[in-house]
Amino acid sequence: MTSGTVHVKGKILVGPEEVRDEIWVVDGTVSFTPPSAGAKVQTVHGWVLPGLVDAHCHVGLDAHGAVDDSTSEKQAVADREAGTLLIRDAGSPADTRWIDDREDLPRIIRAGRHIARTRRYIRNFGWEIEPEDLVAYVRQEARAGDGWVKLVGDWIDRDTGDLSPCWPREALAAAIAAAHEEGARVTAHCFGEESLHDFAAAGTDCIEHATGLQDDTIGAFAAQGIAIVPTLVNIATFESIARSAEGKFPTYAAHMRDLHARRHDTVAKAHEAGIPIFVGTDAGGSLPHGLVAQEALELTRAGFSTAQALDAACWGARRWLRRPGLEEGESADFVVYGTDPRDDIAVLADPELIVLRGHVAP
């Protein structure tokens, strides 16, 4: 990582409506005023965004469970190289706290380990428990994480052959109340329709995927301000999931195909209703890291304007996660592009320079 004073000239996109002509990195922090005379300065030109946010990402996890530190490092580097400098890690069995000490790796907000129902999730990913233990495990993971808890809200029920909720509504209400008492917010993996009613009634803060949203739950989510992270690049895999399941679970396969077919329309309706929506890729399970630009592009296919997709990947996501953007005196975490991403969202896939913790990334 290269250190020193960096001077960026061009268009500094501080916020959706705030644009400056230049910015400095002084002692690792953002400055809107030039340094003292005589400072050694590296000047670059371009369009600047605060570091992008992947609000659903799993550093330390692959399709089989926890990975070693070397693999976790490669995952984090792939995210950084894509311009993702802030990650909400939506569940991982690996201890990645060591990443916090690395100046060259993205910042991570952790949700602890997934909390799932026994035999109702991917093996080796989460704690597998029964409803009577849910409150205790929520408290445990609230204390282990960085202000978030991740539940598995629904999964295939092999007895019924389709998606079904994992938790009784009463258990959810108690667990979410416990998380809030611990100062944590709650999110949950939910593909189907039914579990969304229960989580809304229980007072969740966010839902991952949310493919089962319908008019009634869209209304409830909008009224309560429940956010969603659609992970559309992951939902694109539903067809292959259905194909592999249809021999044994045809009802489930048909359900997954239906959710896939209406994915963009579902997100568009949620967006139109005013539900907060943020960019997340679900990297680290079966998907590679570094897909944040693809997910932002997917949102434009679901009715977002380019400006709205940028907000979901950048300024708005940082506000939602209670982390600063380009603010005086804050850590300099930003991405420089050769052309204006407001004109073409695809520009996000081609960062020219990345500054993280005040250092120019290699």
At 19, which CATH number? 2.30.40.10
Whether residues 149 and 168 fall in one domain: yes
Residues 97 and 172 in one domain: yes
Give 145-161 pLDDT, tens digit per residue. 999 999 999 999 999 99
To the nearest 10°, report the CA torsion of 188, 191, 195, 196. Answer: 80
Q: Are 109 and 321 in contact (CB under 8 A)?
A: yes
Residue 110, classed as helix, strand or coil, is strand
CB 50 within 8 A of CB 16: no
- Based on the domain organization, do 91 and 221 belong to the same domain? yes
Residue range 244-249: mean pLDDT, rounded: 96
Q: Are residues 119 and 175 in the same domain?
A: yes
Q: Are residues 61 and 144 in the same domain?
A: yes
Q: Average of pLDDT values for 221-241? A: 98
Report whether pLDDT(1) > 60. Answer: no
Tell me, what's the pLDDT at 59? 97
For the domain that residue 111 is a member of, what is the CATH number?
A: 3.20.20.140
Q: Let me know whether 9 and 75 are in one domain.
A: no
Structural domain tally of the chain? 2
Three-class secondary structure assignment of 20-34: EEEEEEECCEEECCC
**289 neighbors 57 (Cβ within 8 angstroms):** yes
234 and 356 together in one domain: no
Q: Count helices and strands (H / E) in the chain.
A: 12, 20
Distance between CA 178 and CA 194 in Å, rounded?
Answer: 23
Identify the pLDDT of residue 3: 58
Give residue 5's pLDDT band: very low, low, confident or very high (50, 70, 90): confident
Checking if the pLDDT of 48 tops 80, the result is yes
CB atoms within 10 A of CB 37: 5
216, 271 contact by CB (below 8 A): no
Q: Are 143 and 233 contained in the same domain?
A: yes
Q: Do both 38 and 162 map to the same domain?
A: no
What pLDDT, in 10s, does the model give residues 297-325?
A: 999 999 999 999 999 999 999 999 999 99
pLDDT for 35 beyond 90: no
Report whether pLDDT(197) > 70: yes
What's the rounded Cα separation, in Å, for the pair 250 and 266? 23
- pLDDT (tens digit per residue) in 51-106: 999 999 999 999 999 999 999 999 999 999 999 999 999 999 999 999 999 999 99
Structure tokens at 247: 């021999």
**In the structure, what pLDDT confidence band is assigned to residue 115 with cuts at 50, 70 and 90?**
very high
Cα separation, 153 vs 192, whole angstroms: 9
Q: 239 falls in which pLDDT band (50, 70, 90)?
A: very high
Q: Over the chain, what is the mean pLDDT?
A: 96
> pLDDT per residue over 250-277, tens digit each?
999 999 999 999 999 999 999 999 999 9
Q: What is the Cα–Cα distance from 104 to 262, expressed in whole angstroms?
A: 39
Give yes or no: residues 169 and 247 share one domain. Answer: yes
Is residue 85 domain-shared with residue 70, that is, in the same domain? yes
DSSP 141: H
Alpha carbon distance 328, 13 (integer Å):
14
What's the rounded Cα separation, in Å, for the pair 210 and 130? Answer: 23
Same domain for 188 and 57, yes or no, is: yes
- Average pLDDT for 330-350: 97
pLDDT band at 285 (very low <50, low <70, confident <90, very high): confident
Is it the case that residue 193 has pLDDT exceeding 60? yes
Helices (H), the chain: 69-81, 134-144, 169-181, 194-202, 215-224, 232-235, 238-245, 250-261, 263-273, 292-301, 306-313, 315-320
> Please, which pLDDT band fits residue 2 given cuts at 50, 70 and 90?
low
Domain of 333 in residue numbering reads as 5-49+325-360
pLDDT at position 89: 97
Instruction: Provide the pLDDT for residue 182.
Output: 98
- Phi and psi torsions of 361, nearest 5°: -70, 150
